[in-house]
């Protein structure tokens, strides 16, 4: 794509994108010529704009003389032209103190992170909380209920508790269940729940386990208890920020976008795409896959504990968002959140 654009094309395209980000209005050749001091005549700029439109970088809304950048233009801008700013010290401190202040309660911290993202970006902040399985295991307990029903209580080092009801084919006394808990707490300590699952599978393959009924039954129970891990909670703050943008002045567009925010499964799926990749991921317009968000961009980044990805966070805004200032906000918040969670996990 870069090869198709000359230095002149890039210069004009950059001017149009920068102006459109600020004004949300179609940009004409006279604006480009006067405001951005490009050493080309308005007629030459008009020809360049016509070429850019033909290549799919610009479109002409209605019959106005001005053009607006397409998703393809924004993708080219982000990949090839954009210069990302360094986050200033004041905003760095706001993010640090804002998150550290809430470190006793993980849910409050996730909510706080999405609020900070929204506040600093002036857009919508989203945080996909760690799935329970990514937390470091602290304690498991089995409680005998009626007949063959057993309540399993799993506690993470972050203080989160997950309760699960499982069925057992054979009779087990509470005394036996307590022994299973003690054994499992010993072998699973210090591991994330995902790592604990792996460890249990390995233990079950060992020959000595086949001859030790207690160990085998304990591992079987824990395997049942750790099945079917659900998706992480999603925290969204600043929904009204994005609908204040001129792009969403149309009531129907606004309604569709707000419905998309309520349908959290789609947003989780979108943020999940950034889980497996290090660093910032940017989904522009149609790249979001969901028609409701075709006028939006999502800037997302995973946050990690050591080399283990816990969740994702990001900012949702119009495609003409101020990328150069929003990218460092998302990047820094992800790094700080990861650091704090690492310390909480011990």
Residues 45 and 170 in one domain: no
Q: Is residue 93 domain-shared with residue 241, that is, in the same domain?
A: yes
Top mean-pLDDT range of 101-105, 115-119, 173-177, 301-305: 115-119
Same domain? For 245 and 284 the reply is yes
Do residues 262 and 239 share a domain?
Answer: yes
- Decide: 203 and 188 in contact? Cβ < 8 Å: no
Name the domain boundary from 172, 190, 225.
Answer: 225
Same domain, 210 and 109: no
* Distance (Å, whole) CA 93 – CA 95: 5
At 290, give phi and psi (nearest 5°): -105, 125
Task: Give the residue numbers spanning the domain of 35.
Answer: 2-81
Q: What is the mean pLDDT of residues 18-31?
A: 92
Q: Are residues 71 and 12 in the same domain?
A: yes
Same domain? 338 vs 273: yes
**Are 116 and 240 part of one and the same domain?**
yes
53-110 tens-digit pLDDT: 999 999 988 766 789 999 999 999 999 999 999 999 999 999 999 998 655 677 788 9
pLDDT of residue 132: 65
Of 225, 249, 284, which residue sits at a domain end?
225
Q: Give the residue from 196, 225, 254 where a domain finishes.
A: 225
Question: Which pLDDT score, from 0 to 100, does residue 232 have?
Answer: 64
Give the model's pLDDT for residue 124: 95
Distance CA 292, CA 259 (A): 8
Asked which of 35-44, 45-54, 69-78 is least confident by mean pLDDT, the reply is 35-44
As a whole number, mean pLDDT of residues 130-140 equals 74
**Residue 20 confidence (pLDDT):** 95
How far CA 326 is from CA of 161, 199, 294, in Å, comes to 34, 40, 19
Claim to verify: residue 101 and residue 32 sit in the same structural domain: no
CATH of the domain at 156: 3.30.390.60
pLDDT in tens, 219-239: 777 777 776 555 568 999 999
User: pTM of the predicted model, to two decimals?
Assistant: 0.77
Query: What pLDDT does 229 receive?
Result: 57
What is the CATH number for 49? 1.10.10.10
Number of domains composing the chain? 3
Tell me, yes or no, whether 97 and 76 share the same domain. no
The pLDDT tens digits of the residues spanning 137-192 come to 788 888 888 777 888 888 877 777 778 788 877 788 888 889 888 888 888 877 77
Residues 291 and 339 in one domain: yes
- The length of the chain is 346
């Amino acid at each position: 794509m870069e090869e198709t654009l000359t230095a002149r094309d890039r210069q004009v395209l950059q001017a149009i994108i920068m102006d459109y980000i600020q004004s949300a209005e179609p940009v004409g050749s006279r604006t480009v010529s006067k405001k951005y001091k490009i050493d080309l005549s308005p007629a030459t700029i008009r020809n360049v704009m016509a070429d850019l439109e033909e290549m799919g970088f610009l479109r002409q809304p209605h019959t106005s003389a001005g053009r607006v950048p397409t998703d393809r233009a924004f993708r080219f801008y982000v990949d090839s032209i954009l210069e990302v700013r360094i986050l200033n010290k004041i905003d760095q401190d706001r993010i640090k103190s804002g998150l550290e202040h809430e470190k006793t309660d993980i849910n409050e911290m996730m909510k706080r992170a999405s609020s900070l993202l929204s506040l600093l970006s002036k857009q919508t902040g989203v945080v996909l909380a760690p799935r329970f399985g990514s937390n470091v295991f602290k304690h498991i307990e089995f409680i005998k209920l009626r007949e063959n029903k057993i309540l399993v209580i799993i506690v993470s080092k972050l203080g989160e508790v997950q309760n699960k009801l499982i069925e057992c084919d054979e009779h087990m006394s509470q005394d036996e269940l307590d022994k299973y808990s003690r054994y499992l707490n010993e072998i699973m300590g210090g591991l994330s729940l995902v790592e604990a699952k792996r460890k249990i599978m390995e233990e079950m393959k060992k020959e000595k386990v086949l001859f030790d009924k207690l160990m085998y039954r304990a591992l079987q129970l824990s395997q049942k208890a750790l099945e079917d891990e659900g998706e992480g909670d999603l925290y969204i703050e600043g929904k009204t920020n994005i609908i204040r943008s001129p792009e969403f002045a149309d009531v129907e567009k606004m309604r569709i976008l707000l419905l998309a925010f309520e349908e959290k499964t789609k947003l989780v799926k979108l943020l999940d795409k950034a889980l497996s990749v290090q660093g910032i991921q940017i989904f522009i317009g149609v790249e979001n896959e969901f028609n409701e968000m075709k006028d939006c961009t999502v800037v997302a980044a995973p946050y990690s504990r050591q080399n283990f990805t816990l969740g994702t966070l990001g900012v949702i805004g119009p495609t003409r968002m101020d990328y150069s200032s929003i990218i460092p906000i998302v990047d820094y918040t992800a790094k700080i959140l990861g650091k704090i969670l690492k310390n909480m996990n011990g």
